[in-house]
Structure 1
Amino acid sequence: MSIEWKGIFPAITTKFTAADELDLPLFEKNLEVQLSAGVDGIILGGSLGEASTLTTAEKEVLTKFTVEKVAGRIPVVLGIAEGATREAINQAALAKKWGAAGLMLLPPMRYRSDDRETAAWYKTVAASTDLSIIVYNNPVDYKIEVTLDVFEQLQELPNIQAVKESTRDVSNVTRMISRFGDRFKILCGLDTLALEEIVLGAHGWVGGLVAAFPAETVAVYRLAKAGRIKEALDIYRWFLPLLELDLSAKLVQYIKLAEAEVGLGSEHVRAPRLTLTGAEREKVLQVIRTSVANRPTLPDYLSL
């Protein structure tokens, strides 16, 4: 399946049981709600998906299960975050074998590569596969920026098609478009900047809180793209306290708590993460419950 790289791509959470096993029935429940809400793709094994704690066997189960349930309706993308180029190439081959349509590829983990090394990383992995690739550009969390000069080199690889823009600098959307036109599709990778970047020309949004609030997320995107900015902004202003949960180092716990509150997930995380307790949990719950109590009525965004 080719990937258009526009719209809403949830970085979906991985559901676990109390016994620390994959909870596929709960995962499927969330997946079906995402599909009904009108999302445009699914990303497995991202940071929010606790990819660093998953075994290769678990990634295989999740990917094959998702591909089967999605049944060609939208593309399934698998995250790759590895320390060695050789292992990234191996993961790309496995993703293809398991039925994924694309890859979300991070720069090297644990080694701070320079521009030459970063470009070589992406070129080498991309040359090893025919899967579509979205570059995850998050220098704040991962300490490596995929610069405009690196993207200049990546233009030669036709399957490097998009960027998850997480630099925290909304002006980077304009820089990318000014330099490369429509060569790279731009998807906002930070929930709290999503509407701003969509208005500036971003083609989509890789969401976090979409895991618990898919309809509201898709509505903001579609209304904005339809030019109905005031309606999108009204929802976005309601949404912002929830979207700010995406900024925390504990975004996995916070978003999973939101999923549990709306009946789309559980709080179970995999160690070394621990579930929230005490005052911290109560503070996050207050944000979630206040927002749910004031949840807006959405227009017919699916027809846009």
Structure 2
Amino acid sequence: MDLGQIGTAMVTPFSNAGNVEYDLTEKLVEHLISTGTDSLIVCGTTGESPTLNHDEKFTVFSNVIEIVNKRIPVIAGTGTFNTAESVKLTSRAAELGADGVMLVTPYYNRPDQKGMVAHFSHIASETGLPILLYNIPGRSAVNMLPETVIELSKIKNIRAVKEASGSLDQMAKIISGTDSSFKVYSGDDALTLPLLSIGGEGVISVASHIVGLEMKQMISAFKAGDTEKAANLHRKLLALFQAIFSAPNPVPIKYALSVIGIDTGGVRMPLTDFGEGKSLFDEVWQNYKNA
């Protein structure tokens, strides 16, 4: 599973009636592929997975897989707090042609580290698909420790982790303790460059919906040894990264997409419209464009 350096955690486009919208999905996918996205992660947090029922998730999986047509990897978000249910979703994603799956740390029931190892190990044993682990303590209320990731990395089809703990110390421990074939991705856009500097692979990004090419330039500059250029691009992007997370994700990024002419519809309740945050984002966006 080669996710490249920028995997986009894709929003789920909805029609005015609130249904998953194929035509809008196609336009979004083509936009992302043309602006630096190396892989697509669908039905994750940014894809509003908590509000999608199983049939809708399968629709998104099949739609995106069909549109992409093997041009880049498509990773299906199939992780839940229910191990058996996660196995079923993963099996269906495989049938539909997904290139891999993303499995989030179980939320709400808050397993300990032993429970996480049991959960992910069992799912891995039931599928041949490559697995991207997803550690996001701010949403799941549990933190998958580096030692747990290191243990899980020894399982053949567990190939990478999306680290959204915000801790570079934690990421460094994972990098030090895993084989070079195991990849560590930042789950926070603002930590992309810092993670690269300690040996990480790249980012599972939200901001790449609107600044994918600029992020690719930053990563390419760093890889080429031009750290000054990479740092300048990071600083230029930083305020925008912050604005994109100034309200619950994906509220700001769906609005941001509308600003650049990509319609992805609204968000589902309990999320609500961006409201007063729109003017702040507009100001940050104009400052970024004029910089």
Q: Does 1:290 align with 2:280?
A: no
Provide the C-alpha distance between the structure 1 equivalents of 2:223 and 2:171, rounded to a whole number of angstroms: 16
Provide the C-alpha distance between the structure 1 equivalents of 2:150 and 2:235, rounded to a whole number of angstroms: 36
Provide the C-alpha distance between the structure 2 equivalents of 1:155 and 1:252, rounded to a whole number of angstroms: 30
Q: Does 1:76 align with 2:74?
A: yes
**Letter of the structure 2 residue corresponding to residue 117 of structure 1:** G
Within 5 Å, which residues of 2 pair with 1:32-43?
A: 32-43=30-41
CA deviation string 1:6-41 (max 9, x = no partner): 311000111112111122222221211211223211
Moved over 4 A (4+): none
The partner residue of 1:159 within 149, 157, 160 is 157
Q: Say whether the 8 Å CA contact 2:150–2:174 is kept in structure 1.
A: no
**Letter of the structure 1 residue corresponding to residue 129 of structure 2:** L
Q: Say whether the 8 Å CA contact 1:11–1:48 is kept in structure 2.
A: yes
Structure 2 unaligned spans of 5+ = none
**Cα drift, residue 273 of structure 1:** 1.2
Provide the C-alpha distance between the structure 2 equivalents of 1:54 and 1:273, rounded to a whole number of angstroms: 13
The partner residue of 1:63 within 61, 64, 84 is 61
**Residue 280 and residue 36 in structure 1: after superposition, are their counterparts in 2 closer, same or farther (change >3 A)?**
closer
Q: Tell me what 1:299 maps to.
A: none
**Cα drift, residue 73 of structure 1:** 1.3
Q: Tell me what 1:110 maps to.
A: 108
Q: Tell me what 2:220 maps to.
A: 222
SS of aligned partner of 2:147: helix
Q: Does 1:270 align with 2:273?
A: no
**Letter of the structure 1 residue corresponding to residue 147 of structure 2:** D
Q: Tell me what 1:5 maps to.
A: 3
**Letter of the structure 2 residue corresponding to residue 288 of structure 1:** W
Q: Tell me what 1:238 maps to.
A: 236
- Calculate percent identity across the aligned residue pairs: 28
**Residue 7 and residue 50 in structure 1: after superposition, are their counterparts in 2 closer, same or farther (change >3 A)?**
same
Within 5 Å, which residues of 2 pair with 1:106-185?
A: 106-185=104-183
Q: Tell me what 1:92 maps to.
A: 90
The size of the alignment, in residue pairs, is 291
Q: Say whether the 8 Å CA contact 1:154–1:160 is kept in structure 2.
A: yes
SS of aligned partner of 2:250: helix
Q: What TM-score does the superposition give when structure 1 sets the normalisation length?
A: 0.90
SS of aligned partner of 1:167: coil
Q: Say whether the 8 Å CA contact 1:136–1:166 is kept in structure 2.
A: yes
Provide the C-alpha distance between the structure 1 equivalents of 2:165 and 2:149, rounded to a whole number of angstroms: 14
Q: What TM-score does the superposition give when structure 2 sets the normalisation length?
A: 0.94
Structure 1 unaligned spans of 5+ = 295-304
Q: Say whether the 8 Å CA contact 2:159–2:181 is kept in structure 1.
A: yes
Provide the C-alpha distance between the structure 1 equivalents of 2:81 and 2:3, rounded to a whole number of angstroms: 26
